[in-house]
Structure 1
Amino acid sequence: MSVLHLVNASPFESAALSRCLARAGEGDAVLLLENGVYGALTGCRFSREVAEAAAWLDIRVLAPDLRARGLCASSLLQTLGQVDYDGFVELAARHELSLTWT
């Protein structure tokens, strides 16, 4: 059973992203949204952990939340994809369960 993991907390203020990546399984997806998008940035202390997880997890960033924080695609880890709201719905439909990490 695949799970869509939603991480909405900043990794600088919460261990939600690290806990999520430690628990996510093969075939799961992770969507970074709201302040969780900060976990997708290159050059931050979480970059290595996220990049390693992206080798076996489908990790995406909600593009409108990225833009709302004044960030652009060039500041993201290259292995991560972006989705809009329609893509968010598609991810939710593709996975049997969703789990929010805050």
Structure 2
Amino acid sequence: MLLHTVNKSPFERNALETCLQHAKKGSSILLIEDGVYGAVKGTLHAQRLAEASKNVKIYALAPDVDTRGLNGRLVDGVTLVDYGGFVDLVTEHNAVQAWL
């Protein structure tokens, strides 16, 4: 199982799109820093995340969501994790792929 991390806004870079193309069934995606913008409801990126969530687990780092004022604005199916949850995800997966 692979954990993919995305820290760039999909409105500035294509890291999320590339990640979604490479994420295999059973892997997980963690949105951190500006990557959390990819999960905002009503965007093309959110639609793609919703589709991807059928095969992969989608997470977002709660402090980054809070800092950007996005509470309650994320697409359904995104699980919020704190820093401890981030560490748990890293240890639960065989490897981490950072998409920059």
Give the match for residue 34 of structure 1. Answer: 33
Query: 1-side partners of 2:55 and 2:2: how far apart?
Result: 14
- Paired residues for 1:21-100 under 5 Å: 21-72=20-71, 74-100=72-98
Query: 2-side partners of 1:46 and 1:6: how far apart?
Result: 15
Among all aligned residue pairs of Structure 1 and Structure 2, give the percentage whose two residues are the same amino acid: 44
TM-score normalized by the length of structure 2: 0.97
> What is the identity, as a one-letter code, of the residue corresponding to 2:54?
A
Runs of 4+ in 1 over 3 A off after TM superposition: none
- Displacement of 1:68: 0.9
The secondary structure found in structure 1 opposite 2:85 is helix
Query: 2-side partners of 1:8 and 1:15: how far apart?
Result: 11
The secondary structure found in structure 1 opposite 2:44 is coil
Question: Size of the alignment, in residue pairs?
Answer: 100
TM-score normalized by the length of structure 1: 0.95
Query: 1-side partners of 2:96 and 2:44: how far apart?
Result: 26
> What is the identity, as a one-letter code, of the residue corresponding to 1:63?
A
The secondary structure found in structure 2 opposite 1:43 is coil
> What is the identity, as a one-letter code, of the residue corresponding to 2:10?
P
Structure 1 residue 101 corresponds to structure 2 residue 99 = yes
C-alpha RMSD of matched pairs (Å): 0.7
The secondary structure found in structure 1 opposite 2:24 is coil
- Displacement of 1:70: 1.6
Tell me the alpha carbon deviations over residues 5-62 of structure 1, each in whole angstroms, 9 at most, x when there is no partner: 0000000001000100110111211000000000011001212111000111000000
Structure 1 residue 8 corresponds to structure 2 residue 45 = no
